[in-house]
């Protein structure tokens, strides 16, 4: 079946199902009988949460407008991203998406700890039951069937408490009151007080086995914290990456604008000379082709700047457009950093959140193994109980009689042994936990192996980007020198215009490559901090616990502060990066290109560094 036919079949089925549902003809087979129609909410009614749309986004087709430039340092970008990180975002190409982590996840993971502790909280129970019973019986004197009516009230209280050894203690008081009885009373009370204690000896016994669910819940809460920390580390790394990508795009845009300007000047000059017969038409056509290709590249560069700014806005939590252009103002670093391999590996093994999380998973599975191993034992419970029985009431003759609570007592003591004839399920659970622990150890070893390779790759990439930057910087300087040389040759009629066109293009490509390599070097430095697990500490990011205002386990009235403790106040941030009141791309010394019409074009100074080239003069 072709794709077109399949689409038509699916569409026809969807339409038929919708019509049948509206007419009540589609019968559900797995829902209650009264649900005979497919129901859904209207789109406008279901989508209740809205936000007003902002200004229309700027595109490459938007006419030039006097948009205000806003200098944005990398320190401010990180601070803004952290302020808007209720849902943590990560960079995905030219956009940012949710990582699936929020600031609420770790707080939500705390609640299972209280749930696990709750089974050790005392339980109070009270009951009161009103009753009336009418029992028919045969009167042998008449003979006739008569009825005996008994009314009364049963009430009692009981408190049970389970300790960390698995034992359960209980104390209770009950009373049964009857308004009429055939036992010689017209009304009577039967008070009973009892205490009991049951202690598991095998399954369910021991502090370690009973505390295992609490410890496992705490470990899961720590896992959630380190998952949150890992997401925050990736957020910081991605903010830095988005920042430097915008710097690279703006630098390349500057170079492409100069390239188009100079190629247009060459084309116009050749076209004018061709009109008066000083140049031939093919030279002008070649210049026009180079100029047109450069304009297409310029459109791409402008679009890249807009997309990179939009990605930075997205990950910072800013709207797509607010009438301002974000201008990075932190210059990229060119400093070579010396690394100590052994220290980096040891730091990563002790600081990476994902490694810590795997170790916590292993610890939690060990706690579950303790619990399952305990439950795999036979059940042997020691029980003991003592009860005080009382009786008081009024006889049929109207006399009051009573017995003291200590006159009639009961006590019990014994053991209860229970064991399945096959421990298949419990032993399978133990075996499952043992295999999970082996799997956890293997995952940790694999992560350690992977971390070392990631660190090695990051170090190699850092060195590659730095050396490429140094080579591209020399290539740019040589390209600028070559442009001057080719112009001097053309003025002396020693070369064709094609050489100048290629020299201008080479210079623009060298500037773009230089910016790409240096910004990639700065991004990879942040990536190395991420791989070693130290990026938050390096950038001065600290966590503040802001407690949720909710009643604690004992309610509002019994808590010392009425709720959980108040939040911890952080100190001031210390900026890491130098801030300048100029665009970051100015750090690339973008004034070395010899534009047409400049002073002393015929003079070709020596290039400051790079390969030795012959003097064109």
Block means of pLDDT (10 residues each) for the chain, length 617 residues?
A: 42 43 45 69 73 80 76 91 90 89 89 92 94 80 76 93 94 89 76 94 92 94 93 94 95 91 85 73 83 92 94 92 89 90 93 94 94 92 92 81 82 92 90 96 96 95 94 90 81 71 89 94 94 89 69 56 45 66 79 53 35 34
Tokens for 221? 């809460």
Query: Which residues pair with residue 124 across a beta bridge?
Result: 159
CA distance 260 to 481: 19
Contact 252, 512 (CB under 8 A): yes
Angle at 604 between CA 599 and CA 605, to 5 degrees: 100
Tokens for 422? 């096959």
pLDDT of residue 584: 83
pTM: 0.80
Residues near 312 by beta carbon (within 8 Å), at least 6 away in sequence: 77, 239, 242, 243, 245, 246, 326
pLDDT of residue 596: 61
CA dihedral sign of residues 515, 520, 522, 523: positive
Contact 478, 403 (CB under 8 A): no
Contact 499, 493 (CB under 8 A): no
Which residue blocks in 492-596 are alpha helix, DSSP H?
497-532, 535-538, 555-558
Hunting for tokens 């705490």 — which residue is that?
218
pLDDT of residue 529: 93
pLDDT of residue 604: 33
Angle at 607 between CA 602 and CA 612, to 5 degrees: 110
* Domain definitions of the chain by residue range: 3-46, 122-162+167-203+379-418
Helix axes 74-83, 207-275, angle to 10 degrees: 130
Residues near 455 by beta carbon (within 8 Å), at least 6 away in sequence: 344, 345, 348, 528, 531, 532
CA distance 51 to 548: 26
pLDDT of residue 181: 66
Cβ neighbours, 10 Å, residue 282: 13
pLDDT of residue 38: 82
User: Could you say which DSSP state residue 607 is in?
Assistant: P
CA distance 24 to 5: 28
Query: Which residues pair with residue 193 across a beta bridge?
Result: 173, 388
Cβ neighbours, 10 Å, residue 42: 7
CA distance 536 to 356: 16
Paired sense of beta strands 68-72 and 324-328, if any: parallel
Residue positions counted in the chain: 617
CA distance 396 to 391: 15
Tokens for 378? 């036979």
Contact 372, 400 (CB under 8 A): no
Hunting for tokens 């950093």 — which residue is that?
337
User: Could you say which DSSP state residue 181 is in?
Assistant: -
User: Could you say which DSSP state residue 272 is in?
Assistant: H
Paired sense of beta strands 68-72 and 379-395, if any: unpaired
Question: Which value, in Å, is the radius of gyration of the alpha carbons in the chain?
Answer: 41
Residue 541: alpha-carbon gap to chain centroid: 17
Contact 203, 174 (CB under 8 A): no
Contact 41, 298 (CB under 8 A): no
328: helix, strand or coil = strand
């Amino acid at each position: 079946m072709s794709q077109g036919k399949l689409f038509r079949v699916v569409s026809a089925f969807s339409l038929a199902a919708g019509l049948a549902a509206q007419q009540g003809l589609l019968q559900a087979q797995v829902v209650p009988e009264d649900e005979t129609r497919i129901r859904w909410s209207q789109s406008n009614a279901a989508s209740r949460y809205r936000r007003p749309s902002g200004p229309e986004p700027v595109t490459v087709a938007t006419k030039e407008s006097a948009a205000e430039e806003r200098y944005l340092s990398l320190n401010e970008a990180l601070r803004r991203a952290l302020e808007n990180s209720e849902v943590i975002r990560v960079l995905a190409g030219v956009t940012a998406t949710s990582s699936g982590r929020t600031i609420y996840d770790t707080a939500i993971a705390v609640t299972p700890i209280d749930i696990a502790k709750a089974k050790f909280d005392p339980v109070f129970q009270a009951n009161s039951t009103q009753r009336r019973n009418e029992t028919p019986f045969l009167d042998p004197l008449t003979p006739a069937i008569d009825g005996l009516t008994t009314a009364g009230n049963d009430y009692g209280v009981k408190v049970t408490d389970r300790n960390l050894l698995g034992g359960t203690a209980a104390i209770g008081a009950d009373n049964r009151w009857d308004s009429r009885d055939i036992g010689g009373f017209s009304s009577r009370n039967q008070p009973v007080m009892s205490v009991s204690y049951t202690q598991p000896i095998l399954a369910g016994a021991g502090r370690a086995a009973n505390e295992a669910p609490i410890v496992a819940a705490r470990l899961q809460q720590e896992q959630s914290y380190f998952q949150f920390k890992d997401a925050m580390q990736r957020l910081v790394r991605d903010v830095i990456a988005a920042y430097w990508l915008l710097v690279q795009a703006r630098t390349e845009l500057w170079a492409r604008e100069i390239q188009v300007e100079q190629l247009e000047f060459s084309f116009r000059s050749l076209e004018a000379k061709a009109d008066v017969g000083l140049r031939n038409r093919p030279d002008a056509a070649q210049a026009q082709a180079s100029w047109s290709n450069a304009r297409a590249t310029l459109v791409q560069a402008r679009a890249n700047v807009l997309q990179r700014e939009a990605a930075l806005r997205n990950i910072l939590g800013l709207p797509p457009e607010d009438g301002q252009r974000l201008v990075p103002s932190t210059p990229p670093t060119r400093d070579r950093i010396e690394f100590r391999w052994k220290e980096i590996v040891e730091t990563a093994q002790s600081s990476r959140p994902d490694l810590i999380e795997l170790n916590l998973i292993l610890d939690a599975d060990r706690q579950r193994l303790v619990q399952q191993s305990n439950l795999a034992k036979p059940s042997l419970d020691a029980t003991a109980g003592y009860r005080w029985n009382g009786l008081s009431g009024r006889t049929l003759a109207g006399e009051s009689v009573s017995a003291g609570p200590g006159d009639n007592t009961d006590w019990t003591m014994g053991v209860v042994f229970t064991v399945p004839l096959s421990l298949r399920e419990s032993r399978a659970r133990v075996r499952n936990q043992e295999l999970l622990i082996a799997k956890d150890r293997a995952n940790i070893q694999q992560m350690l192996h992977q971390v070392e390779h990631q660190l090695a790759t990051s170090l190699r990439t850092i060195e590659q980007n730095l050396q490429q930057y140094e080579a591209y910087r020399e290539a740019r300087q040589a390209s600028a020198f070559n442009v001057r040389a080719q112009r001097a040759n053309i003025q002396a009629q020693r070369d064709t215009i094609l050489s100048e066109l290629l020299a201008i293009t080479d210079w623009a490509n060298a500037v773009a490559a230089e910016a790409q390599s240096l910004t990639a070097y700065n991004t990879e430095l942040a990536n190395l901090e991420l791989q070693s697990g130290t990026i938050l500490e390096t950038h001065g990011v600290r966590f503040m616990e802001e407690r949720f205002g909710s009643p604690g386990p004992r309610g509002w009235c019994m808590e010392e502060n009425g709720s959980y403790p108040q939040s911890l106040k952080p100190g001031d941030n210390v900026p890491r990066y130098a801030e300048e009141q100029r665009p970051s791309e100015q750090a690339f010394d973008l004034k070395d290109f010899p534009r047409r019409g400049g002073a002393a074009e015929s003079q070709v100074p020596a290039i400051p560094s790079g390969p030795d080239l012959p003097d064109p003069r």
